[in-house]
Amino acid sequence: MRTLFLDEIGELRQDMQVKLLRAIQEGKVDQVGARSPAKINFRLISDTNRDFQQQVSEGKYREDLYYRLNLFPISIPPLREQQEDIEPLSAHSITKLAATEGKALRGLTENALNLLKEFDWPGN
């Protein structure tokens, strides 16, 4: 079994939603140039920053696909709502970058850290 990760699934066009739903329900996909559908076995993980329920109610997203994708939802608050995480995440990233680049990086200045905390983090 393979794992398929679909980023920003909320952006999926209506025609592609139909194809994805078929793949999930039937375990088959139409390969380009093939004479018959190919069997598939996959685990699907997807993410979105959109409000799926709102998209369904507005008719922008298929309700049946929404329920197929929403079996095990994990809600992660955006970074702008978790400001206490910015400093440790930054420190971790700087430590990894320093190790990768072989540089002696000391961290962020207080001003840089404040800028990160004030940033809106759109799409996050």
Q: Are 88 and 70 in contact (CB under 8 A)?
A: no
Instruction: Based on the fold, state whether residues 89 and 35 are members of the same structural domain.
Output: no
Mean pLDDT (the chain) is 90
Give the residue from 66, 20, 14, 67 showing the smallest Cα distance to 40: 20
Residue predicted with more confidence, 116 or 124? 116
Residue 84 structural domain: 79-118
Instruction: Based on the fold, state whether residues 64 and 86 are members of the same structural domain.
Output: no
Instruction: Based on the fold, state whether residues 98 and 63 are members of the same structural domain.
Output: no
Instruction: Based on the fold, state whether residues 24 and 63 are members of the same structural domain.
Output: yes
Instruction: Based on the fold, state whether residues 29 and 11 are members of the same structural domain.
Output: yes
Cα distances (Å, whole numbers) of residue 124 to 18, 25, 76, 77: 27, 30, 9, 8
If one counts the domains in the chain, the total is: 2
Residue 106: its pLDDT value, please? 81
Instruction: Based on the fold, state whether residues 34 and 61 are members of the same structural domain.
Output: yes
Residue 107: its pLDDT value, please? 84
pLDDT digits (tens, 9 = 90+) for 39-60: 989 999 999 888 888 999 999 9
pLDDT digits (tens, 9 = 90+) for 10-50: 999 999 999 999 999 999 988 888 899 889 899 999 998 88
Q: Is 99 within the bounds of a domain?
A: yes
Q: Is 74 within the bounds of a domain?
A: no
Is a pLDDT exceeding 90 seen at residue 103?
no
Instruction: Based on the fold, state whether residues 62 and 88 are members of the same structural domain.
Output: no
pTM of the complete model: 0.68
Residue 51: its pLDDT value, please? 86
Residue 86: its pLDDT value, please? 93
Structure tokens at 51: 């409000």
Instruction: Based on the fold, state whether residues 87 and 61 are members of the same structural domain.
Output: no
CATH at 9: 3.40.50.300
Mean pLDDT of 61-79: 90
Of the residues 49, 69, 89, which one is the last residue of a structural domain?
69
